[in-house]
Amino acid sequence: MKKLNNKGAVLILAYIVLFVLLTLSAGIASFNINEHNYARRHYFSTAAFWLAEAGINIFMKDTRVLDQKGSYTIQDDNSMIHVTKDDSNFRHRVVTATGTFAGIEKSIQITYPAKAPEVFRNTVSANGDLVIDGKKAMVAINDKTRLNGKIIDRGEHSRVFIEDKKEGANAGLVSLTYPDANKNGIADEFADFVQVNRDLLQNYPPEEVLYIKGNGTYLVAPNSSLDGKKIIYVEGDEGNGNVIILFGEGLKKDQKMTIISTGTVVHNQTGFAAPDSQLNIISWAGYLETAALPSSHNGVIYTHGIAHFDGIYDTTVTNGSVIANEGIAIGEIWSTKTFNYADTTIDEIVPAGFEGLLGGGASGYVARPDAWKAI
């Protein structure tokens, strides 16, 4: 009996060992299968990713491949490249390339900012007349002047030089408008102006913007709190929230800043602009520039209303572009006013604050994307 019991114990132990070995073998086999499947999936996923990258490169090599149909596809038995573009957002073009391999999909998306409209290539643009008043003044506009209206010279004993002028231009080529941001079916309303600028501020870090809400008149003068600011937005009711600028040499070298107002911007030029600085201005109601001393200004001046330039016994220079939706009035007295064209764009992209404006002879998208992401 004892021998039989010993034999039974050995048999049971053998079964246990066998069970353990079989379990280990099954686990190892399962692990190997999982590893194999993971390796296959990784291989397929990597192949799909590089197919998507190839689709992006196809578009970057020849952007015309999407001009007719808006999509482009290459396919064989086991793989596919599909490239599409989305121009629904007027601020940029989005190109998406999807690579498919063995049923696995990977996508890459790149974004091209919109180019600065052609109106930014003009010295002076107006959807209206250019009226010159004043007495014994000299007005010079170098490079291109483009007007929907005409030039009216009513100055007394004044001299006017305009290098390259075109009257009766298409309104859409000499003005900027705001999209239907509040989705009420009507574009370029005051409510659109407000909404576009509110949305715009969300795209900048808080330390780069200054938002002021109120219907008063606000004085903007040089001080250390404006260092690093790219946008100052003063928002009031329509025609209110006016700004008086006492800038000139106050902007630092290379500093670029845009002041936006729902009212009128009055720019009292007090000195010469720092090298490579930009003081850009956007106003809903109108723009008024005054000076009583020699001074200069670098940047874009855009108003939805009329742009006025008045000076007495001064010599002032504007380097950049002036865009006025309702016309321009120059009322200099015993003064010299010069407008020079200067490119205010950076890599063909508009200055801060001008993103999203429509018209002005939109000219497509920049040559290189500014954003890349895998989806």
Question: Residue 34 pLDDT more than 70?
Answer: no
Same domain, 250 and 205: yes
pLDDT at site 131: 96
Question: Residue 145 pLDDT more than 50?
Answer: yes
Band (221; pLDDT cuts 50, 70, 90) = confident
Q: What is the 3-state secondary structure (H, E, C) of 58-102?
A: HHHHCHHHHCCCCEEEEECCCEEEEEEEECCCCCEEEEEEEEEEC
Domain assignment present for residue 315? The answer is yes
pLDDT digits (tens, 9 = 90+) for 253-302: 888 999 999 999 999 987 888 888 999 999 999 999 998 788 899 999 99
Q: How far apart are CA 240 and CA 44, in angstroms?
A: 60
Burial environment of residue 133 by CB neighbours within 10 A (0 to 12, 13 to 18, 19 or more): middle
Asked whether the beta carbons of 145 and 164 are under 8 A apart, the reply is: yes
Same domain, 143 and 263: yes
- Read off the pLDDT of each residue in 340-362 and give the average, rounded to a whole number: 90
- Give every CB contact of residue 5 below 8 A, 6+ residues apart in sequence: none
Question: Residue 7 pLDDT more than 70?
Answer: no
Band (247; pLDDT cuts 50, 70, 90) = low
Q: How far apart are CA 210 and CA 225, in angstroms?
A: 10
Range of the domain at 146: 118-359
pLDDT at site 209: 97
Q: How far apart are CA 185 and CA 70, in angstroms?
A: 26
pLDDT at site 4: 47
Band (250; pLDDT cuts 50, 70, 90) = low
Q: Where among 71, 97, 113 does a domain terminate?
A: 113
Domain count, the chain: 2
Q: How far apart are CA 47 and CA 54, in angstroms?
A: 10
pLDDT at site 86: 92
pLDDT at site 158: 87
Q: How far apart are CA 331 and CA 152, in angstroms?
A: 12
Same domain, 165 and 71: no
Domain assignment present for residue 207? The answer is yes
Domain assignment present for residue 197? The answer is yes
Same domain, 124 and 241: yes
Same domain, 254 and 326: yes
Question: Residue 17 pLDDT more than 80?
Answer: no
Dmax (CA) of the chain: 138
> Other CB atoms closer than 10 Å to residue 9's CB: what's the count?
10
Smallest Cα–Cα separation from 261: which of 213, 226, 322?
Answer: 213
Domain assignment present for residue 371? The answer is no
Same domain, 207 and 325: yes
Same domain, 209 and 315: yes
Same domain, 181 and 73: no
Domain assignment present for residue 364? The answer is no
pLDDT at site 15: 63
Same domain, 132 and 222: yes
Q: Where among 113, 129, 158 does a domain terminate?
A: 113
pLDDT at site 291: 85
Same domain, 237 and 194: yes
pLDDT at site 90: 75
Q: Where among 113, 138, 171 does a domain terminate?
A: 113
- Read off the pLDDT of each residue in 314-331 and give the average, rounded to a whole number: 95
Domain assignment present for residue 369? The answer is no
The share of the chain scoring above pLDDT 90, in percent, equals 63
Domain assignment present for residue 161? The answer is yes
Question: Residue 93 pLDDT more than 80?
Answer: yes
Q: What is the 3-state secondary structure (H, E, C) of the chain?
A: CHHHHHHHHHHHHHHHHHHHHHHHHHHHHHHHHHHHHHHHHHHHHHHHHHHHHHHHHHHHHCHHHHCCCCEEEEECCCEEEEEEEECCCCCEEEEEEEEEECCEEEEEEEEEEECCCHHHHCCEEECCCEEECCECCEEEEEEEEEECCCEEECCECCEEEEEEEECCCCHHHCCEECCCCCCCCCCCCHHHHHHHHHHHHCCCCHHHEEEEECCCEEEECCCHHHCCCCEEEEECCCCCCEEEECCCCCCCCCCEEEEEECCEEEEEECCCCCCCCEEEEEECCEEEEEECCCEEEEEEEEECCEEEEEEECCEEEEEEEEEECCCEEECCECCEEEEEECCCCECCECCCCCCCCEECCCCCECCCCCEEEEC
